[in-house]
Amino acid sequence: MKLPITPKEFRATILSHGYFWLRPVIGTETPPSIIIPYNLPGQIGCIRIAAHGKKVELETMSGSEHDALKIATHCLSFDEDLKPIRKIARTSAQWKWIIDEKKGRFLRSPSLFEDCLKAIFTINTNWKRSVLMSKIATEKYGSKTGAKFNGKAVWAFPTPYRIARESEGSLKEILRCGFRTKFILSLTDAAIENPEFYTNDVWRSFSSGEFCNEIGAVSGMGPMSVAYISRLYGKTNSYHMDSWVIRRCAELWGLSPNQIEGYVHRRYGDFGHYGPAIFWFELTRYWHFSEEEALEKGV
C-alpha cells in the first residue's frame, strides 16, 4: 500500500529522534525503512514501511491490513496538520530549511505507554544503556507478532499487564534498570488504570495542559520527559531543556544557560504552539547530514 509521504519526508520522520534505534523497532537509514511490531488491546502484528524509488509503501507482515494502516498513521504522525508550520516557514528565508528538509513529523511508538517507558529508560544514563534496557524488555517480556525478519521471530514491546506480573526485584535484576524500577512500575500502574489513554487514542481528546499533567503525574516523568513526549504527540507546551539542549544552544548560538529561554521564545515565537518542535528540529538538523554537509550548512 502506498503511503501519502515522500521518501525524503519519511526519512526525516523516522530519524526525528532516537527511538528509531530502540527495540523492538528495526530500521535502516539508507534506503529508509522501518519495521514496527505492535501488541495493543485487540491488535497484534507487525508492519514494514519502506521507500522504493519515489514511493513509500506499507507492508503488513502480520496482523490485519486495517490495523496496519492505523498503526502507520499513528507512528508517522499523519494526524498532525503541517500546513500552519509550512505557511510560516514560507514567509522567511530563515525557515526555508523546514520545507526543504521536510521537517514537521515525529516518529511515535505504537502506544503512548511504549513511548513513555522508553523515556524512562533514558533517565540519567548513557544511550548505550537505554538501548540495552529496551532490547532486554522486548526480549524478556514482549510477545511474538507472527512476523519473521531474516528468519527470526519479530517480538513486540511488552504490555503494561505483562510487566505488572514481575516483582520490583525481578525487574531491577533482569532489566538492569536500577532506580528506574519504581518509575517503570508507576507508569505500568497508570497504564493499567487508564488503558484508553496509554494504549489507545483517548489522549487525542486531551488539551496540551491536560496531556502533560496526566503523564507528569507518573513518578519519574519529570519536566524534560514530559516535554519530550508532548512534542511527539503534538501537545507541546514548554521549551524545557536538559544538559544536551543547553550544550547545543551554546554550540549553535553561543548562548549561556540564562540567555536561552528568552532567545528561543523570540526566535520561535511566530510558530506559537509549534515553536518547541521547530526548536528541536533545528537543534538536530546535523543528525541528517554527513559531517561535511553539516559544517557546510552551519548546523
Residue with cell 483517548: 202
pLDDT averaged over every residue in the chain: 96
Boundaries of every domain in the chain: 7-81, 112-232, 243-297
Sign of CA dihedral 240, 242, 245, 250: positive
Instruction: Say if residues 94 and 272 touch (Cβ distance below 8 Å).
Output: no
Answer for the pair 166, 141: CB distance below 8 angstroms, yes or no: yes
On whether the pTM is more than 0.75, the answer is: yes
Whether residue 297 is predicted with pLDDT greater than 90 in this model: the reply is no
Residue pLDDT, tens place only, 91-126:
999 999 999 999 999 999 999 999 999 999 999 999
User: Using CA of residue 86, residue 289, residue 9, residue 234, what is the dihedral sign?
Assistant: negative
| Distances in whole angstroms, Cα of residue 252 to Cα of each of 88, 228, 245, 261, 295 | 22, 20, 10, 15, 11
Whether 290 shows a pLDDT value over 90: the answer reads no
For residue range 236-276, list pLDDT tens digits in order.
878 888 899 999 999 999 999 999 999 999 999 999 999 99
Under 8 Å between Cβ of 197 and 113: no
Cβ(157)–Cβ(114) under 8 Å? yes
172-196 per-position pLDDT tens digit = 999 999 999 999 999 999 999 999 9
Task: Look up the CATH architecture of domain 112-232.
Answer: Orthogonal Bundle (1.10)
Q: What confidence score (pLDDT) does residue 293 get?
A: 85
Looking at residue 157, the DSSP 8-state letter turns out to be: P
User: In which residue are the cell numbers 492505523 written?
Assistant: 70
Q: Is the pLDDT of residue 159 over 90?
A: yes
